Structure 1
Amino acid sequence: MGLNLDEQKAVDRFRKTVAEPSMTKLVILDFWAEWCGPCKALTPVLEKVAEDYAEKGVVLAKVNVDEEQFIASQFQVRSIPTVYAIFQGQPVADLTNARTESQLKQTLDQLLSQLPVQPDGAEPQQDLAPLIAMGEEALAEGDGERAASIFMQILELAPENAEVVAGFVRALVLSGRVEEAEQVLASLDPALAADPLVERARSALALAKDKPEDSELAALRAAAAERPADMDAQLAFANAAFAAGERDAAADTLLRMVAGDREWNEGAARAKLLQIFEATGLEDPWVSTTRRKLSTILFG
């Protein structure tokens, strides 16, 4: 890193006393010196506030600018006292002008409401986003069993997470494990069951319950091909195709119906497309592409 021995030692001390604790805590970082009168006046205030907020995950770290000149220079400290709030190794607020207890607490309350600071004694929380992304990727690829396996593992870490529960249900549906999906939904507490993400998964389940036998799907496909002007035949095939996992065939059929007669049966084809979008997930790339096709038909 191009640092001399003293600078390396200073960085190590800073890492242990500030950077590492800030990975889960909110660190009040106070730059001070023995000769600084305002620093001595501020110290008791900082110490009291840190003590009052300790259970909320706030800690106080002090850096003597005379002894740690290298660290002070990295923060471009020009005058003291200089006080920063540090989270996950980065300054998130300048607390220098908050000189009273009430000012400090007001600022800390705002920060704590915005940052995932772990209260004292809390178990470290694993970042679920990368794991959820893996599950969603498996869903997008049509690999229901792999997605179900991924989401089942995440459920062990976060059993009350609506996004995870919804992903698991959708994965079960994609895998054809409809009864298991129904059992999962039936076991949820009312608040979790009412979450919009879980409701979306419930829509996917409702569509999948219409899954036909292979022979029935083949018959519906043949009927739709033989009678392209028969809207009832087209809709029956679209419903069955989506339930059977053939979402491209379902969407193409419904798009042709909208293009042919968007008002048929009070807009049933468009309504079915919107239901499919909701069940699949509005952020899904396939949904985005298909919605553009629908918009072109309706407004192009």
Structure 2
Amino acid sequence: MTDSAQEPQSRRVDTRGAVDLSALASNPASGQAQSGQTSQAAPAGGNAADSWAVAVQPQQLQQVVELSAQAPVIVLIFGADAASATMKTTLEDLVDAQQGRVLLAEIDSSAHPELAQSADQVPVATAFIGGRPVGEFDSSVPTEQLGQLVTQMVQMATQNGMTQKLPAQSSRAARDGATAEAPAEPELPPLHQEAQDALETGDYERAAGAYERAIKEKPDDEEAKLGLAQVKLLQRTSGVDVAHVRQAAADHPDDVSAQIAVADVDILGGHVEDGLSRLVRFIQTHFGDDRETARAHLVELYSIVGDSDPRVSTSRRQLARALF
């Protein structure tokens, strides 16, 4: 892990001007898109026939990952099996419902057997934000959890200043071979919408207040709890001098606050393993109130990263060994 005085990468994302991937999908120089899968991008504007699922070739992956600096990207490697068909259709519907806030890049492993051989299993999807992978999931994830994962990606992107919508990449009619309407984007509860609006303007205090009121009205509102935890992370890291934070942690290895500060910076910057491992190591070697403070903060970071993220599962096992 390299020390740097710069803000975490996710804060430095340039969201000006969405990139149209339709040329990428059909550019002969980059590899032909699969027949019937894509067409020229429809004008941006939320038409019900628009789609943000696009077929790409393996050699185009770097371009796709770079696009995740502007909006979250899910790369799906699918096969000809029933599980692949179900996962592909489900993700297409979920992504299209977001109307440009997420892109789904699809690769057919049957046309690229080398992918099927290298992947542990197919279908498999990897989520990217800010040029970095933030999670991987397969067909074992229930359909309802896929919806939660897509929503969390949009929330993470919004809270990191990525509010630009991508233009449509294809049409659902061309993709499905029939006229179809994209599912309507679910309407957020009023306080959740207030929080999202505040985040888009960088007003973290107002966003936190909206989520707190939502939790007060509905104590079991898990989405509001997650949103509040994410906003608090943004508040804690806003304007910090990363080099100073890291140096303070190096100079004071027994200071739980210093270690937590670096963990926060790491999580926000995409260095998830580093941030989680730092607190696990602190817990291994410290006891009393400081250990509990670190443990409680680590659990909060788990909720921010997401329980479905394999890095969280690994860290939970490490935490259990450290505690017991």
After TM superposition, the score normalised by the length of structure 2 is 0.38
- Higher RCO by CA contacts (8 Å cutoff, separation 6 or greater): 2
After TM superposition, the score normalised by the length of structure 1 is 0.41
- Which structure has more helix as a fraction of its residues? 1
- Higher-Rg member (1/2): 1
